[in-house]
Amino acid sequence: MRCNPRYEILFEPVRIGPVTAPNRFYQTPHATGMGHQKPQSGAALRGIKAEGGWGVVSTEYCSIHPSSDDSPFGFLTLWDEDDVRDLARTADAIHAHGSLAAVELWHGGAHTNNRLTREQLLAPSAQPAKFVQPGGARAMDRQDINDFRRWQRQAAIRARRAGFDIVYCYAGHDYLPFQFLSRRTNRRTDEYGGTLENRVRLLREMIEDTKEAVGDSCAVAVRLAVDELHGPHGITHEGEGRDVVEMLAEVPDLWDVNIAGSLGNDSKSSRFSSEGFQEDYVGFVKRLTTKPVVSVGRFTSPDTMADQIRRGVQDFIGAARPSIADPFLPKKVFEGREDEIRECIGCNICRAANNESVPLRCTQNPTVGEEWRRGWHPEQVDAKRSEARVLVVGAGPAGLECALTLGRRGYGVMLAEAANTLGGRVSREATLPGLGAWARVRDHRLHMLTKQARVEIYPGSRLGAEDVLSLGVDHVVLATGSSWRRDGVGASIEMPVDFPASPSILTPDDIFAGAAVIGPVLVYDDEHYFMGGALAEKLRLAGHKVTIVTPLPVVSSWTQMTDEQFFVQKQLMEVGIDLLLSHSLTSATDGIAEFACAYTGRVTWREFGTLVLVTGRIADQALFDALCATTGSGESFPSITRIGDCLAPSSIADAVHSGHKFARCLDQPTEATMPLRERPFYSTGAKPWNALQHVADPVVPSAKSAASRSALGNS
């Protein structure tokens, strides 16, 4: 099959300065949680993107100097020749599939923490650190500015030597160059402060310095936040953001534009934004420059992508999260397989990984982050190693993914689901306010299962132990999910609370099952992810007076990891939900709940018509226990394995990964299922960064000589 004619525009080559992208699919810079400590993992991940058809593949943020240290978060570095060697792996992996390799050179200024390097924070003007920590950033003097420009040049030269085609000047997300642009953070009175022309001076110099450093072999891109969402006191797309683009319109080779203020604004979850939501802010840029423009907006629909190009909004379709959910999205569009795209659900589990300083993970794509350490490919699986037949019990996210992957390997699979509808928890949770896109987890897998002739699906089939054993399968996989606890045990309360049996004390399972709700409603959230806040909003929208109570100082506290917490709390307050923070539930009876302050222990009471307990979950393993009691130790019985929430309740992403892992590893030798680990390496003897601070710019070598590339490849 070939590309649908209405999408042909997406596969036109686009010139970027001295280089040409083979198509309009542009994987914009995004974090991986791997950084400089896991160069092989990072290279494998980016190589898969190129193989999947992304015409430009960018790295995550890459520090130009140890004064820009984001430890313990995963970031890249171009401080010395060891970094050149490591990043050459990534450039090579991208080039192997004909794509352009881009590197995002970065200095965070006051938005770094420097806890590892212990360098002083730098900023245009003296200010507190952007990360909450003792101390702050000092105002840069003239020598600091000269040093910064030299660090950018040196990093750009190293980027060229590593083989990159596009080198970034990064002026977004409230990092150092953007701090010079914004009046909120630039209070200088010299030629780098005051008027906008002065505040733009450093960015203009960065672009010119970078162009001079890389010569005519690399393109120079600018990533700019055209609106920091702080109103008239900051950069706005209708004011100074537009003016900056007008001043520098033809200076860079490419404009990569977005909104900032925080990463949460740029990578806003689907719960609080729609596809293409940034167009209202960035749509003007293309009208002000002849240079190519790229932006993002969680694009998943090829029709929306083509429309962006035809209407002149941008020249490339920028994507970070959609390229994680489906690295082969461009190739599927080109081959007429749009129906097979694994659409991003906008849950921001990928952002959580970086915020937790661990390698990337994704709800839709269980192979991301596993490309090197497990050798998993998103579109390829090993063929079956036996004629074993497998029964999967439960068609939630873990069961669906397990059955699909087993079917792709060629195994005969029976998928049995007790309910008449498939999807398990996904089908329930997708009904909550703002979470409709989560249904894509179910819908994609059900659609792909229709293409698996060896997978049989049996809804409305509740199986007991004898039923399972009578089927004569070789392997039984239990994906029976979990249930919400009724005893109050959660993240903060370890001992059960003595609740009376009452129709007015419910769990989320009861709400989804249609239990009657009488106001006023108390939602007690000791789980701290999305459920408590989303249920509170659902019940408020149904007309109830709602109060959400949590033992922690903010609601839905874990959503700080997904960059959503601010938006969650703002939404709850705007719809009129009362908040009782830092209070733990101690008892509830006769329509009165008792709470104790987490700090003082002082007791307060609240009346309720309905109390909803959003605390912990317990694995549903009754069938597992029954099977274990029946099978004993007999060798003729099938293997029995639990996956997903049935094994350990967690996120949908973890459930999908668990199901995929079982299917990948079935019949594989044990050693083949063990993940690899990247080890620290010994330096090649390059000078340490502090010895390079006052060295003149290195001479640019001839581009990508065979000898140097060979040496880099063999390291």
SS in 3 state form for 583-636?
EEEEEEECCEEEEEECCCCCEEEEECCEEEEECCEEECCHHHHHHHHHHCCCCC
In angstroms, the Cα distances linking 8 to 2, 301, 309 are 10, 14, 11
Q: Do 518 and 543 touch, CB atoms closer than 8 A? A: no
Cα 463 to chain centroid distance, Å, stands at: 37
How far apart, in whole angstroms, are the C-alpha atoms of residue 233 and residue 447? 49
Within 8 A by CB and 6+ apart from 188, the residues are 124, 125, 139, 194, 198
How far apart are the two ends of the chain, measured CA to CA in Å? 41
Q: Do 334 and 22 touch, CB atoms closer than 8 A? A: no
**What is the DSSP pairing of strand 505-506 with strand 521-525?**
unpaired
Of 82, 94, 227, nearest to 161 (Cα)?
82
Where are the strands (E) in 183-321, listed by range?
219-227, 254-259, 293-295, 316-319
Q: Which residues of 603-617 are buried (b: 16+ CB within 10 A; e: fewer)?
A: eeebebebbbbbbbb
Tokens of residue 444, six digits = 């994609």
Q: Do 645 and 616 touch, CB atoms closer than 8 A? A: no
> Residue 383: phi, psi to the nearest 5?
-65, 160
Within 8 A by CB and 6+ apart from 193, the residues are 124, 125, 186, 187, 199
Residues forming the active site: 175
In eight-state DSSP terms, residue 168 is: E
Within 8 A by CB and 6+ apart from 173, the residues are 111, 225, 260, 262, 263, 266
Q: In what order do the strands lie in the sheet with 136-139?
A: 121-123, 136-139, 127-128
In angstroms, the Cα distances linking 103 to 71, 94, 186 are 19, 12, 27
**What is the DSSP pairing of strand 592-597 with strand 254-259?**
unpaired
Tokens of residue 410, six digits = 């060629």
From the CB of residue 530, how many other CB atoms can be counted at a distance below 10 Å? 25
| Site of tokens 């649908």 | 4
Within 8 A by CB and 6+ apart from 637, the residues are 469, 631
Query: Long-range contact list for 568-575, CB < 8 A, 24+ apart?
Result: 568/530, 568/533, 569/533, 571/272, 571/533, 571/537, 572/533, 572/536, 572/537, 572/540, 572/548, 575/537, 575/540, 575/541
Q: Do 201 and 144 touch, CB atoms closer than 8 A? A: no
Tokens of residue 277, six digits = 């939501």
Q: Do 30 and 59 touch, CB atoms closer than 8 A? A: no
**What is the DSSP pairing of strand 316-319 with strand 25-27?**
parallel
